[in-house]
Structure 1
Amino acid sequence: MSRNLTTTSLLVILGITDAFLLSHPNLIGRIGIFIFKHDYIKTFPRALATVFLVLGISLFLCEVIRRGTSPRAALGWYLMLLVLGMALFAHVYVTFSSFSYGLTGKAFIYGAHLLPVLMTGLFGRYLITALFQAKKQTEL
């Protein structure tokens, strides 16, 4: 991933956008963040650190799998991570479709949905790369 500047810059831009959206709920959302003590998204710098920590751990896992396993074994790991990312997105979708979370503001809801989408896209990109590498390895 470090060689592809476009993908890395897109991930950084979308991460900053996600942090901005998460840190700007409406009044009801701010009350909810205060009551439920979600201090990790209370301000923009905290939300930015949280988003980049999650994306950094996801990227670190993908790189460890890419460098430490064969392309065929990496397919299984990436597929598992992709399913985990989609399950997280489904959980966020169901959670934020409820009435109480629906009142927190559209920006906050879109920010909550964007993080699992970024993770799923990252895992999917590595899955496709491992698929091509496994295919190339079996053809030789």
Structure 2
Amino acid sequence: MLASLKKNLTTTLLLVILGVTDAYLLSHPNLIGRIGVLIYQHDYLKTFPRALATVFLVVGTSLAICEVIRWQARPRVAVGWYLMLFVLGLSLFAYVYVTFSSFTYRLTGKAFIYGAHLLPILLIGLFGRYLIMAIFEARKQPEV
């Protein structure tokens, strides 16, 4: 996995920058958002280090799953897995969009709302990148 990250340094750097930005946005809701974080016991978003750990845990786990699929599965099978993960990311984004469109969540502040939307977008981009790589890899291999 580290070899893949070193090979694509710009992609890795972009992922890190967007992850830090997402954690910053999630850890800075307005006053109403802070009350909501306390009431609903979202301890993982209270401070920037906790939000950063949460975001990197989600993104890191997703990246590890993608790398395991890339190593273990044949390219045509990997396309199916990545497509499933991509659709999962899209449905997570749709869920966040619908949830944060409600009146209550609209009061939590723009930074918090943008942060909530950025995490599924990160996952969609990650899964989409691996999906495209798997499609090109599957096209290279002769059909059986």
Coarse TM-score class (shorter-chain normalised): over 0.9
Distance 2:68 2:124 in 1: 17
SS in 2 for 1:24: coil
Counterpart of 2:45? Answer: 41
Size of the alignment, in residue pairs?
A: 139
- With normalisation by structure 2, the TM-score equals 0.95
Counterpart of 2:21? Answer: 17
- 1:94-140: CA deviation from partner (whole Å, max 9, x where unpaired): 0000000000000000000000000010000000000000001127x
Counterpart of 1:100? Answer: 104
Equivalence map 1:44-63=2 (5 Å): 44-63=48-67
Counterpart of 2:32? Answer: 28
Task: After the TM superposition, list the runs of 4 or more consecutive aligned residues in structure 1 that deviate by more than 4 angstroms.
Answer: none
Gaps in structure 2 of 5+ consecutive residues: none
Distance 2:142 2:91 in 1: 31
- In structure 2, give the amino acid aligned to 1:99: F
Distance 1:123 1:75 in 2: 10
SS in 1 for 2:141: helix
Distance 1:107 1:138 in 2: 48
- With normalisation by structure 1, the TM-score equals 0.98
Gaps in structure 1 of 5+ consecutive residues: none
Distance 2:57 2:126 in 1: 14
| CA root-mean-square deviation | 0.8
Identity of aligned residues (%): 75
